[in-house]
């Protein structure tokens, strides 16, 4: 596939990876905050990508405030654990000839979020250093697929990518076949980006 205007001619499948959810285990960060307050996250029946309503229903307003405060604390995004299998999956996809760019929306209410996210990538995904795009509207970013835990991703532009949902607490209530249950399914993602349909512009 050839591109004009200075873009590369040999098209490598371009995978955009959301950071919180697919790579950094945001759920685990939330669970740890709840546990520190003596609250058991396994009691929550998750029905929404935004944790507020589910947490409020189970544990009350104070627990929502606790989580919001923790999420806005400097260092929160720096300390998240890596999602199981993510490092190996990224290695395999790179070995298979894919281009990978991290595409993440910064939490503007957290003063160190952006720098913490970059430091986190540097520590856990050194091959992706310098390949991070921060965008509150991901439709501005070009790619073949976007792996993101958000149930649906919309913005100003018509996306160039196909959205593949990465399974997390906040989308567990959805099931329409367009999700990766875990990184053990990385080869499914590879098959998808290699099919011509995924490249429909």
pLDDT in tens, 74-100: 999 999 999 999 999 999 999 999 999
Whole-model pTM: value is 0.89
Task: Give the pairing type, strands 162-166 and 14-17.
Answer: unpaired
Query: Which residue numbers in the chain have pLDDT < 70?
Result: 1-10, 175-178, 196-201
Q: What is the pLDDT of residue 123?
A: 98
Q: Which of 11, 14, 16 has its CA nearest to residue 1?
A: 11
Q: What is the DSSP letter of 125?
A: -
Give the span between the Cα atoms of 166 and 23, in whole angstroms.
10
Q: What is the CATH T-level fold of the domain 14-25+82-199, as seen in this structure?
A: Rossmann fold (3.40.50)
| CATH 3.40.50.1000 domain extents, the chain | 14-25+82-199
The partner residues of 148 in beta bridges, in order of sequence, read 165
């Amino acid at each position: 596939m050839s591109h004009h205007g200075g873009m590369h001619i040999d098209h490598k499948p371009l995978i955009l990876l959301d950071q919180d959810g697919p790579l950094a285990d945001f759920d685990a960060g939330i669970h740890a905050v709840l546990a520190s307050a003596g609250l058991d996250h396994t009691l929550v029946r998750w029905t929404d990508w935004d944790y507020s309503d589910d947490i409020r229903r189970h544990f009350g307003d104070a627990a929502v405030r606790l989580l919001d405060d923790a999420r806005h604390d400097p260092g929160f995004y720096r300390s998240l654990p890596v999602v199981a299998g993510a490092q190996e999956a990224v290695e395999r996809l790179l070995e298979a000839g894919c281009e990978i760019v991290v595409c993440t929306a910064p939490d503007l209410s957290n003063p160190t979020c952006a720098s913490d996210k970059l430091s986190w990538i540097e520590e856990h995904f050194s091959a992706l250093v310098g390949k991070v795009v921060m965008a509150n509207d991901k439709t501005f970013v070009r790619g073949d697929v976007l792996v993101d835990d958000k149930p649906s991703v919309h913005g100003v532009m018509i996306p160039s990518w196909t959205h593949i949902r990465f399974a997390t607490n906040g989308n567990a209530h959805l099931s329409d076949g367009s999700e990766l249950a875990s990184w053990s399914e990385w080869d499914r993602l590879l098959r998808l980006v290699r099919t011509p349909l995924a490249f429909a512009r």
